[in-house]
Amino acid sequence: MPGDRLLEGLSLTVPRGGRTFLFGRADAGKSTLARIVAGLVPRFTGGALSGRISLDGRDIRSSPPYELMQSMGLVAQDSEEQLLTTRCDTEVAFALESLGLPRAEMRERVGASLEKVGLADFADRNPATLSGGEKKRLLVACLHAIRPGLWVLDEALGELDFEWKTRVLDIIAETGGTALLMESRWSGLAALRGTSYFLLDEGRKRAAAKDSQEPAFLAALTNAGIRQGEPLEPRRPQRKGFLRMEGLGFRFDASTGFTLDIESLELQFGETCALVGRNGSGKSTLGRLLCGLLRPQTGTIGIRGEQGYRKLRPDELCAKVGYLFQNPDHQIYLPSVREELSLGLHRQRAERREIEPRVQEAARIFGLPDLAAPPALLSYGARRRLQAATYFLLPRDLLILDEIDSGLSYREVESLINALASRVPGIVLITHDMVLARAACDRILVMEEGRITGDARRGRFESVGAGGQAETT
Amino acid sequence: MIVEFFRPGNSLLHRLDPRPKLLFLVVVLIAFFVPSTTWVLLLFTAAIVAVVAFFLGPAQLLPPLKSLWPILLLIFLLTPPFHFGGQPIIRILGATLVTSEGLDTTLVMLLRFIGITFGFFAVVRTVALDDMVLSLRWFGLPYAACLVMTITLRTIPSLGAAWHNVMDAHRLRSGLVESRRRRIVETYLPVLTSVLIEAVKGIPVLAMALESRGFGRRNPRTSYAELKRGRALAADMLVLAAASAALLWPAFIRW
């Protein structure tokens, strides 16, 4: 909110050539710090910045971003923010054109950079048509072409599978660059490849370490909810099915070659189920079929009622199944938190005197600030909590949480899931994080190429593969 | 929009340089407004439609017609009653509804709309946005103006996609797939609000992306993409000059 102090007394040294991980919860100030380092804040956002930021001994605060582009580059959490053109090769070439490089050199660099990130065959593709992971790789190629000294990756690896995460770090190392990675969750990547570590909390440096196994630092991460602690207490799902898919088939069009084919799948009452798999494996498509946004070409989806299973049409599913989109801003739009929360209750025709207490209860459970606050000005974490709270007040049988863990710490995701699970019979969490899936879910479903290839319940999680998401902890 | 219309390909229309194609568009506009007979306009329109069907495939006739048909229908219904010259053709209860002049004017307007639309379509379907911008720079448009055009044309489809995402999100939150049939204010206002918030939030973010990639530097900017030069460009110019002459010949004939 305007007037709030985001960072205070922060002093960090990033060693040259290493991989520094800066951990923090959603509202810790990581993205702001990343943009400050890149020279973008307060230039474009307003606010007051004091102190000194030096790169190789040179104060960079007075230099505009376009003068710093060869010294440092930023890959943001949301790739859409940084894509400018309509072809992958011109996207990579944009910065080279700004530098005034000769065409022959640009061609060589663009080709080499696209090749490096596995997008050589995508040169004439529109970046808007790439998957989330491919967009991230394209932005890595954009920086690779310039070879900045410092790479700032703000939650930039979240949509990549483990193999590509490690390759991106190798690419940075090959160019002789230094990596500064802002992360909201401790991962196998940090444990294996980091060279220095910091914990940021409420705008201050809370802990630091040079060794990934330093007990005090790991304890601080666990306390902050950034490192996974003990798995959640299982919710003891009733062994009784409540949603069933039979012979579900869907394809977009012949040109994509993608086909979703679910022979039979039943979700059980009270179950929190993780849906994992590589980009493009069909997780979001299955989610959209379940909530009625897509109409299957074959098969049925049924929800159990008093008379047993009843097949539901897409418009009926829409009223039974909720879907929390990756971008919370798509689902919140009213002028105040109170109005956002009470909208669903008004639509359910709840009695006027019931509405305010229920709104206040939801605000308390989800840790929302002042009910009069405008949602658009809330922090990312608070907007995410508000998005979940709106569904908490809606009567739904199943909620699909589509990568809502992006940018949130383990504790933040778990508290969201816990709060929602107290009201909703079934939850499906679409995620790339196997650590989170194992800790917070009762069941893991693995999708590969439109099919369920693994299905295991708590206690037998090791029996399923991870659809390319495997990483050590 | 150009971004949405363009389809990569290897047809003759794709291979022609975009600069003579843009000049040819000007010729098409002139040709359809040069005084000539309805039959000549019919011939022009048929020729342009045939070129699109031959080089891009008959299926490509549908997209422009799909977006055009409401306008064509309005012209067809509303033009004849406002022209009273010529022979009466349809009379009802003593009132003349359609005259020969009204029919002729309607036909001319329909042919102009169809011909010019297909002319533009043939160009935007076969010229990538980057080549279009490069051509406009070649014609002297400043780089900043071209960049604004590129970003605008890229942003509009993105906002279109955001509109659909937000629409889906709101339908699910309200639990009403059939909300499209509900009151417009209840359905579209929240969606529009979300999209506008996203668009407004995107302004400083776009500025950040541009400056991070070097926009604003003082050194001369070079260009990655390259258009045809020398003989290849001259050959394309000749092909389209011949086509232009064929379209403009009615202007030099006394009818």
pLDDT of residue B225: 84
Torsion of CA A321, A452, A328, A469, to 10 degrees: 160
| Whether the complex's predicted ipTM surpasses the cut of 0.90 | no
Asked if residue B71 and residue B17 are part of one domain, the reply reads yes
Count the neighbouring beta carbons within 10 Å of the beta carbon of residue A393: 20
Q: What is the per-residue pLDDT across A266-286, written as a single tens digit (0 to 9) for each?
A: 998 888 999 998 877 889 899
Determine which of B170, B177, B191, B213 to mutate to test the interface with A (most A C-beta atoms within 10 Å).
Answer: B213
Domain membership flag for residue B134: no
Q: Residue A244: which pLDDT band, with cuts at 50, 70 and 90?
A: very high
Q: Residue A470: which pLDDT band, with cuts at 50, 70 and 90?
A: very low
pLDDT of residue A212: 86
For residue A54, list its beta bridge partners.
A59
For residue A20, list its beta bridge partners.
A180, A196
Q: What is the per-residue pLDDT across B228-237, written as a single tens digit (0 to 9) for each?
A: 888 888 888 8
Q: What is the per-residue pLDDT across A132-177, written as a single tens digit (0 to 9) for each?
A: 788 999 999 999 999 999 999 998 887 787 888 899 999 999 999 9
d(CA A137, CA A119) in angstroms, rounded, equals 8
Asked if residue B202 and residue B167 are part of one domain, the reply reads yes
Say what percent of chain B tops pLDDT 70. 91
> Range with the lowest mean pLDDT among A64-68, A101-105, B94-98?
B94-98
Domain membership flag for residue B135: no
Asked if residue B153 and residue B101 are part of one domain, the reply reads no
pLDDT reading at A84 higher than 90: no
* Domains defined for chain A, CATH in brackets: 19-223 (3.40.50.300), 241-463 (3.40.50.300)
Asked if residue B146 and residue B99 are part of one domain, the reply reads no
User: For residues A82 and B248, which has the higher predicted lDDT (pLDDT)?
Assistant: A82
Torsion of CA B139, B143, B148, B153, to 10 degrees: 50
Torsion of CA A404, A405, A407, A410, to 10 degrees: 150
pLDDT of residue B35: 72
pLDDT reading at B86 higher than 50: yes
> Range with the lowest mean pLDDT among A364-378, B167-181, B212-226?
B167-181
The continuous run of DSSP H or E covering B154 comes out as helix B143-174
Q: Residue B179: which pLDDT band, with cuts at 50, 70 and 90?
A: very low
Which residue has 């422009």 as its token pair?
B64
Asked if residue B146 and residue B237 are part of one domain, the reply reads no
Asked if residue B147 and residue B74 are part of one domain, the reply reads no
User: For residues A53 and B161, which has the higher predicted lDDT (pLDDT)?
Assistant: A53
Domain membership flag for residue B84: yes
A452: which residues sit within 8 A by CB, 6+ positions away? Answer: A262, A265, A445, A446
Asked if residue B178 and residue B246 are part of one domain, the reply reads no
Q: Residue A429: which pLDDT band, with cuts at 50, 70 and 90?
A: very high
Domain membership flag for residue B219: no
Measured in whole angstroms, the distance separating CA B6 from the mean position of its chain's CA atoms is: 11
A267 torsion bin: left (phi>0), alpha (psi -120 to 50), beta (else): beta
pLDDT of residue A281: 85
pLDDT of residue A254: 59
Domain membership flag for residue B187: yes
Task: Mark yes or no for CB contact A40/B212 under 8 Å.
Answer: yes
pLDDT of residue A453: 92
Q: What angle, rounded to 10 degrees, do the helices at A132-146 and A162-174 form?
A: 10
Task: Mark yes or no for CB contact A330/B173 under 8 Å.
Answer: no
pLDDT of residue A57: 82
Number of domains in chain B: 2
Determine which of A77, A318, A403 to mutate to test the interface with B (most B C-beta atoms within 10 Å).
Answer: A318
Task: Mark yes or no for CB contact A318/B176 under 8 Å.
Answer: yes
Residue count of chain B, please give it: 255
pLDDT of residue B182: 53
Q: Structural domain of residue B61, as residue ranges?
A: 2-127+230-252
Domain membership flag for residue B161: yes
Task: Mark yes or no for CB contact A293/B172 under 8 Å.
Answer: yes
Task: Mark yes or no for CB contact B177/A318 under 8 Å.
Answer: yes
Asked if residue B117 and residue B161 are part of one domain, the reply reads no
pLDDT of residue A256: 61
* Of A2, A18, A24, the residue nearest A10 (C-alpha): A24
Asked if residue B206 and residue B117 are part of one domain, the reply reads no
Most distant pair of Cα atoms in chain A: their distance: 74
Whether B208 contacts chain A with CB within 8 A: yes
Helix/strand/coil for A418? helix
* Residue of chain A minimizing CA distance to B209: A82
d(CA B20, CA B26) in angstroms, rounded, equals 10
Asked if residue B100 and residue B8 are part of one domain, the reply reads yes
Asked if residue B16 and residue B122 are part of one domain, the reply reads yes
In this structure, the strands spanning A451-457 and A72-75 are: unpaired
Say what percent of chain A tops pLDDT 70. 94
d(CA A19, CA A156) in angstroms, rounded, equals 14
Q: What is the per-residue pLDDT across A298-329, written as a single tens digit (0 to 9) for each?
A: 999 998 877 788 888 888 888 889 999 888 88
Domain membership flag for residue B220: no
Which of B158, B219, B222 lies at the smallest CB-CB distance from A102? B222
In this structure, the strands spanning A178-183 and A150-154 are: parallel
pLDDT reading at B178 higher than 60: no
pLDDT reading at A233 higher than 90: no
Which residue has 């009201």 as its token pair?
A423
**What mean pLDDT is predicted for residues A205-220?**
91
Count the neighbouring beta carbons within 10 Å of the beta carbon of residue B139: 10
Asked if residue B161 and residue B50 are part of one domain, the reply reads no
Q: What is the per-residue pLDDT across A89-134, written as a single tens digit (0 to 9) for each?
A: 999 999 999 999 999 999 999 999 999 999 999 998 888 878 778 8
Task: Mark yes or no for CB contact A65/B212 under 8 Å.
Answer: yes
pLDDT of residue A107: 96
Measured in whole angstroms, the distance separating CA B180 from the mean position of its chain's CA atoms is: 28
**What mean pLDDT is predicted for residues A403-415?**
88
Q: Residue A473: which pLDDT band, with cuts at 50, 70 and 90?
A: very low
In this structure, the strands spanning A443-448 and A426-430 are: unpaired
d(CA A454, CA A466) in angstroms, rounded, equals 8
Q: What is the per-residue pLDDT across B50-65, written as a single tens digit (0 to 9) for each?
A: 999 999 989 888 888 8
Which of A99, A293, A394 lies at the smallest CB-CB distance from B168? A293
